[in-house]
Amino acid sequence: MTKQSRVQIAATSTNNNIVAGDIVEFAQTGRAISFGFAAEGAGLLIDILVDSVLIAQGLTPGIGAAATAMPIYPDNFPVTDEVMAAGQRLTIRVQNPTGGALWLNFTLNITELG
């Protein structure tokens, strides 16, 4: 399964989980996920957690040529094949310390393991 989406992160703010409420937030079965990120401008910082385990901290997304440019594999996929067990929660926290709102485009490539 592949999920693609985009989210705007307001200036000097944090979105504590860009997949909150989404079907991918909680794993129904074991899965491996590859994460791709592209932003319209520099400055965003991304943390990835599975339950309370920090998988990546302070990732900077690739900068897209356009605000709608999606991540390109493998260049914009800093974390690949991260395994989640059934019932675990995925959190992708995005911080924007800059003075302007920025769009983040992301792709999750999910392989069910069960």
Give pairs for 64-70: CB < 8 Å, separation 24+.
64/38, 64/39, 64/40, 64/105, 66/40, 67/40, 67/103, 68/6, 68/105, 69/38, 69/40, 69/105, 70/4, 70/36, 70/38, 70/105, 70/107
CATH for 23: 2.60.120
Residues 21-38, mean pLDDT to the nearest whole number: 97
Q: Given this model, what pLDDT does residue 24 score?
A: 97
Q: At 30, is the pLDDT very low, low, confident or very high (cuts 50, 70, 90)? A: very high
Which residue range(s) make up the domain with 47? Answer: 2-112
Number of domains in the chain: 1
Q: Given this model, what pLDDT does residue 93 score?
A: 98
What are 42-97's pLDDT values in tens digits?
999 999 999 999 999 999 999 976 778 899 999 999 999 999 999 999 999 999 99
